[in-house]
């Protein structure tokens, strides 16, 4: 039953054209989603999950309202959602960044579709190169898959982060071999895989997942070198939904204390319990030496995708400016100066990300990839500056952000009038508006969307140290030493 419906909705008939059709496409999939210890009957209607679906839906809506920004002409001729487009020029990559910033502004959180975009772009060149080396058929297969999801306009998630167990040990040295996703059975018509992917951003609201290895692999690790597309409603998948600070406010009537009632991110653990993948959806199988290039290329795309946080940062700055205005201090020099500092930091992130895209280079497969150094620098600033923006936003918000009573008090006959009297600020500002703006700042700096704005900024696309390692590799110490020796008048052959 489920399968038939699914075929009707996703695979055959109607490509998704609107945000609403996208939301409808997620219904009735009978996913095994668990939240608060219970299986969720219909994720689309769950108040905690729905805001993350709404955020993803904006990627469809923007393609409707601003097609130049959020869709692209594919190589094969059709107009496709930009999240499904392979970048064939630096401008394509730059357009991704612009779209990401805009969606950050629209949702105030993570809209969850970048992982897939960056996964398909990196797989495009990697599959090509694997084929060149091994006469494998991955690239053609991958293009067919891509053409399908483009035509149907589906959401593809990229699943990379394994459970990893003891971080001081590799895949084969773990007590439990499943702590890194692996092939447990090789068949003529496909493989069976087992494992789990952590912190999966945007999965319950996706149509497909592409599973990829998470670290450098070597000889002997063949079972871990698996790249495969799996449909989200595959019965072998279990989704265990992650909690977020303040998540249950979405379940309170009216969600009036949610801060950002419409949008949120989504993170889940995906357990793959012996999932069969047919050959046509396998894009790497055992070519271990390509695991590291895949991870590295993916991060080249994805670390610069964190430009999205500058869109979220725009909201944080706007919220801070708004509350200062409400308080009647918008013109104080120290207030203005803090807004300038927030903007400076936010645009510094944007600069590095945009530069990474503009400075892209072409791969033999024909597509373009961002500059590695600048992409890493962009992301590394993302692991720092949003915390500083958050701190400054809290500074401008005032303590009330964290001490404000429940919205239910405002409707209470006993306490409502008292709050309206005593929370009044400058003339013309409804207390209700002040309350809402403070809840938004709370939401973004220590509530639900702080997960997306802060923690994900640290750990998404690799933790800070991962960027430092990449910067260290790319920094060309030897070349810089030569520059210095020349100016110091030192013969470079001395040592």
Other C-beta atoms closer than 10 Å to the C-beta of 69 total 16
* Distance between start and end Cα atoms, the chain: 74
Q: Which of residues 303-342 bind a copy of itself (CB under 8 A)?
A: 314-319, 321-322, 325-329, 333-334, 336-337, 339-340
Is residue 399 a contact point for a copy of itself (CB under 8 A)?
yes
Rounded least distance, CB 13 to a copy of itself, Å: 34
Do 40 and 6 form a contact (C-beta atoms < 8 A)?
no
Is residue 425 a contact point for a copy of itself (CB under 8 A)?
yes
Rounded least distance, CB 360 to a copy of itself, Å: 11
Do 10 and 232 form a contact (C-beta atoms < 8 A)?
no
Is residue 58 a contact point for a copy of itself (CB under 8 A)?
no
Is residue 159 a contact point for a copy of itself (CB under 8 A)?
no
CA-to-CA distance for 284 and 494, rounded, in angstroms? 47
Find tokens 């995906």 and name the residue: 270
Other C-beta atoms closer than 10 Å to the C-beta of 416 total 15
Known catalytic residue: 222? no
- DSSP at 148: H
Rounded least distance, CB 202 to a copy of itself, Å: 12
Do 390 and 450 form a contact (C-beta atoms < 8 A)?
yes
- DSSP at 411: H
CA-to-CA distance for 21 and 365, rounded, in angstroms? 34
Is residue 158 a contact point for a copy of itself (CB under 8 A)?
no
Find tokens 């502004």 and name the residue: 105
Quick one: 32 or 79, whose CB is closer to a copy of itself? 32
**Options 49-57, 114-122, 145-153, 417-425: segment touching a copy of itself (CB under 8 A):** 417-425
Rounded least distance, CB 333 to a copy of itself, Å: 4
Q: Which of residues 356-385 bind a copy of itself (CB under 8 A)?
A: 356, 358-359, 373-374, 377-378, 380-381, 383-384
Known catalytic residue: 306? yes
Quick one: 27 or 391, whose CB is closer to a copy of itself? 391
CA-to-CA distance for 17 and 215, rounded, in angstroms? 37
- Nearby residues of 134 by Cβ (< 8 Å), 6 or more positions away: 287
Q: Which candidate, 447, 444, 34, 45, places its Cα nearest to that of 247?
A: 447
- Nearby residues of 9 by Cβ (< 8 Å), 6 or more positions away: 24, 25
Is residue 31 a contact point for a copy of itself (CB under 8 A)?
no
Is residue 489 a contact point for a copy of itself (CB under 8 A)?
yes
Q: Which of residues 108-137 bind a copy of itself (CB under 8 A)?
A: 108
Is residue 224 a contact point for a copy of itself (CB under 8 A)?
no
Known catalytic residue: 388? no
Candidate list 18, 28, 245, 362; residue touching a copy of itself; CB under 8 A: 245
Is residue 241 a contact point for a copy of itself (CB under 8 A)?
yes
Is residue 100 a contact point for a copy of itself (CB under 8 A)?
no
x-marked contacts with a copy of itself along 441-460 as a string, rule CB under 8 A: -x---xx--xx--xxx-xxx
Angle subtended at Cα 479 by Cα 475 and Cα 482, rounded to the nearest 5 degrees: 140
Is residue 244 a contact point for a copy of itself (CB under 8 A)?
yes
**Options 74-82, 281-289, 293-301, 482-490: segment touching a copy of itself (CB under 8 A):** 482-490
CA-to-CA distance for 247 and 139, rounded, in angstroms? 41
Known catalytic residue: 322? no
Which residues are marked as active site? 110, 114, 201, 267, 302, 306, 308, 456
């Amino acid at each position: 039953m489920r399968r038939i419906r699914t075929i009707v909705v996703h695979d055959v008939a109607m490509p998704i054209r609107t945000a609403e059709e996208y939301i409808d496409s997620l219904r009735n999939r009978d996913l095994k989603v668990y939240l608060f210890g219970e299986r969720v009957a219909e994720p689309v209607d769950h108040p905690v999950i729905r805001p993350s679906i709404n955020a993803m839906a904006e990627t469809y809506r923007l393609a409707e309202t601003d097609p130049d920004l959020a869709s692209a002409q594919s190589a094969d001729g059709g107009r496709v959602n930009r999240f499904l487009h392979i970048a064939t020029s630096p401008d394509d990559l730059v357009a991704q960044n612009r779209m990401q910033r805009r969606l950050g502004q629209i949702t105030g959180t993570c809209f969850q579709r970048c992982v897939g975009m960056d996964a398909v772009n990196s797989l495009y060149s990697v599959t090509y190169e694997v084929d060149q080396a091994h006469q494998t058929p991955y690239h053609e297969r991958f293009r067919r898959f891509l053409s399908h999801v483009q035509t149907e306009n589906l959401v593809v998630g990229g699943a990379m982060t394994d459970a990893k167990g003891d971080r001081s040990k590799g895949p084969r040295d773990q007590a439990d071999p499943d702590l890194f996703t692996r092939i447990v059975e090789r068949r003529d018509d496909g493989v069976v895989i087992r494992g789990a992917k952590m912190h999966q951003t945007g999965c319950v609201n996706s149509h497909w997942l592409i599973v990829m290895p998470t670290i450098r692999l070597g000889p002997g690790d063949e079972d871990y070198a698996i790249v495969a597309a799996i449909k989200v409603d595959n019965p072998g998948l279990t989704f265990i939904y992650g909690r977020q600070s303040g998540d249950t406010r979405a379940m309170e009537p009216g969600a009036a204390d949610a801060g950002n009632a419409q949008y949120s991110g989504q993170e889940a653990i995906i357990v793959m319990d012996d999932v069969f993948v047919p050959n046509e959806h396998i894009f790497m199988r055992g070519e271990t030496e390509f695991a590291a290039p895949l991870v590295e290329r993916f991060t080249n795309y994805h670390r610069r995708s964190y430009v999205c946080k500058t869109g979220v940062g725009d909201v944080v700055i706007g919220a801070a400016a708004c509350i200062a205005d409400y308080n009647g201090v918008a013109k104080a020099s120290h207030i203005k100066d803090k807004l300038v500092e927030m903007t400076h930091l936010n645009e510094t992130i944007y600069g590095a990300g945009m530069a990474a895209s503009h400075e892209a280079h072409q791969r033999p497969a024909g597509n373009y990839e961002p500059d590695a150094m600048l992409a890493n620098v962009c992301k590394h600033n993302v692991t720092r500056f949003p915390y500083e923006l958050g701190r400054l936003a809290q500074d401008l918000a005032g303590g009330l952000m964290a001490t404000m009573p429940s919205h239910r008090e405002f409707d209470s006959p006993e306490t409502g009038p008292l709050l309206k009297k005593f929370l009044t600020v400058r003339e013309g500002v409804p207390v209700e508006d002040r309350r809402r703006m403070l809840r938004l700042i709370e939401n973004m700096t220590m509530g639900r969307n702080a997960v997306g704005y802060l923690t994900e900024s640290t750990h998404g696309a690799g933790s800070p140290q991962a960027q430092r390692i990449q910067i260290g590799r790319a920094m060309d110490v030897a070349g810089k030493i030569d520059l210095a020796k020349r100016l110091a008048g030192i013969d470079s052959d001395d040592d």
